[in-house]
Amino acid sequence: MSLNILQYSKMLQKNNIEVIYSGPILASSIDSMAEMLLKRLEKEDIPLNASQSVFSVFVEQMNNMFMYSAEKIYQANSDGVLEKASRGIYILGVQDGEYFIQTGNAVTANSAAILKTRIDHLNTLDKKELRKYYKQRMMADNDNPESRGAGIGLIEIARRASSPIEYDFEPLENDLQYFTMHVTIKQRGKE
């Protein structure tokens, strides 16, 4: 099957999409993609804090997809060793002086409920309150049995975002939800 790549290229350009990745996410591939993004950001003429925010949000979102995606597969890494991988999609674009970073992956219904509650809470906090909440969570015990980290990834994303985190859940089969997260970062830096 041959696809019309020109058609896809025009669609990406029309929607201001600079980078798109869809497929398996391995722990080792996150590092490679992060390095590619870092080199790209170094070449762009934007303030360092905006570049750091884009990079940080990318890393947090990729790690969240890797750890919490309900779609798990096994895939050979560059050494030929089978590694657990998650499926997801990552989009980076630039429009009207803002970077937008959007991710999507399947999550369990329980994870969807936890994500909704946490994002809704984070979206009520200003930058000063987010900084304080971040410090509190760093000292607290992890209260989410599904979380494999300190539970601060979403806080870090909210701290670096220029506006509230946008998200959506769409029902899938087998009691799963398709989770989409959209984050914007102003090129001139954090506000």
Give the pLDDT confidence score for residue 119 in this predicted structure: 95
Question: Above 50 in pLDDT, residue 3?
Answer: yes
Give the pLDDT confidence score for residue 144 in this predicted structure: 55
CA torsion angle 59 62 63 69 (round to 10): 170
Rounded to whole angstroms, how far apart are CA atoms 48 and 150?
27
Mean predicted lDDT score pLDDT of the chain: 88
Give the pLDDT confidence score for residue 191 in this predicted structure: 43
Rounded to whole angstroms, how far apart are CA atoms 15 and 18?
9
Task: Give the global pTM.
Answer: 0.85
94-136 pLDDT, tens digit per residue, is 988 899 999 999 999 999 999 999 999 999 999 999 999 998 8
Rounded to whole angstroms, how far apart are CA atoms 68 and 108?
9
User: Which domains occur in the chain, in start order?
Assistant: 5-186 (3.30.565.10)
13-40 pLDDT, tens digit per residue, is 999 898 899 988 888 788 888 888 888 8
3-state SS, 159-176, equals: HHCCCCCEEEEEECCCCE
